[in-house]
Amino acid sequence: MSHTAMQVIYEDNHLLAVSKPAGLATMGLSDGRETLLTIAKDYIKQRYNKPGNVYLGVVSRLDAPVTGVVLLARTSKSARRLTEQFRGRSVDKTYWAIVEGLIDPPQAECSDWIAQDKRHRRMWIVGPSVAGAKQARLEYRRLGTLKKHTSFLEIKLHTGRKHQIRLQLADREYPILGDRKYGSQRPWPTGIALHANRLEIIHPVKGTPLQLEAPLPKAWIDFGVNP
C-alpha cells in the first residue's frame, strides 16, 4: 500500500491530519504489516528527505474498518498538548453512520456503561458496578433516510471509548451497515458505514481553532448520501 492509501487533509511543522481508508489499522500491528502510522512516517521521510526514524505521535485513532480523520503530531510537544485536549474533552468529534432501520427517536443522547471482552475482541454494555466498566456518551440525529430501510446519522462523540458508536447503536437495534461484529446482516463495500467526518481542535502551537474534515468515501455517495 502506498501513500495514496491515505489522503493528507492538513499539514504543517506540528501536525499531520490524514483521511484513513477502510481496512487499514491506525497502528499497533507487530508483524511488519503496514499501518496508517507506518505509511505516514514513510510519507514524511520522503517528502522532507528526513534520514533515520521519523517522529509521529498518534493523537486520535480509528478502528480498521472505519474511515475518516486521523490526527498525528509531528513533535512530542504537540502530541502532549493535543492529548490534553482529548483528555479534557475539548475536542469536537463528529461522525457519520448509516444504520439498519429507521431510527426512532430521530434524535437522542445515548449513555451506557461498557466493558471490554478481550477474548472476543469486542465490547459489551454492562452495569456501572462491573469491574473495568467505563461510561460512554454520544448524541445522534437522523440527517435522512436512505434506500433499503436505512438511516443516515450524524453523531457527536462525548467520550472516546473503544467501539463505542458501533456498540451503542447496535444495542438499540440499529447496527451500522457491514458491522458483523455487532450484529449487522447487511453488506457494505469496504469496512463498515462509519466515517469520522470532522475533528475540531485548538492548534497546539498557534492556539487558533482548526477544523479538519475528511472527504466522503465513494461507497457513501454510491449509496445515495448527498450531505
How many whole angstroms separate alpha carbon 127 and alpha carbon 125?
A: 7
Task: State the pLDDT at residue 118.
Answer: 81
Task: State the pLDDT at residue 139.
Answer: 98
Task: State the pLDDT at residue 52.
Answer: 80
How many whole angstroms separate alpha carbon 198 and alpha carbon 95?
A: 7
The domain limits of the chain are 3-223
From the candidates 63, 92, 171, 222, give the one annotated as an active-site residue: 63
51 SS3 class: coil
What are the strands, taking DSSP E only, across the chain? 7-11, 15-20, 57-58, 67-73, 92-100, 107-117, 122-126, 134-146, 150-157, 194-202, 209-213
Known catalytic membership, residue 42 = no
Buried b (16+ CB within 10 A) or exposed e, 49-87: eeeeeeebbbbbbbbbbbbbbbbbbbbeebbebbbeebe
The alpha carbon dihedral of 119, 123, 125, 130 has a sign of positive
164: amino acid identity, one letter: Q
The alpha carbon of residue 71 and the mean position of all alpha carbons in its chain are separated, in whole angstroms, by 10
Spell out the per-residue pLDDT of the chain, length 227, in tens: 455 568 999 999 999 999 999 999 998 766 667 899 999 999 999 888 887 888 999 999 899 999 999 999 999 999 999 999 998 888 999 999 999 999 999 999 999 999 998 888 899 999 999 999 999 999 999 999 999 999 999 999 999 899 999 999 999 999 999 999 999 999 999 999 999 999 999 999 999 999 999 999 999 999 999 87
CATH code at 3-223: 3.30.2350.10
Task: State the pLDDT at residue 1.
Answer: 45
Task: State the pLDDT at residue 198.
Answer: 97
**For residue 98, what are the contacts with CB-CB under 8 A and spacing of at least 6?**
146, 150, 151, 152, 153, 176, 177, 188, 193, 220, 223, 225
Residue 133's alpha-carbon distances to 45, 82, 174, 181, in angstroms, are 40, 25, 23, 20
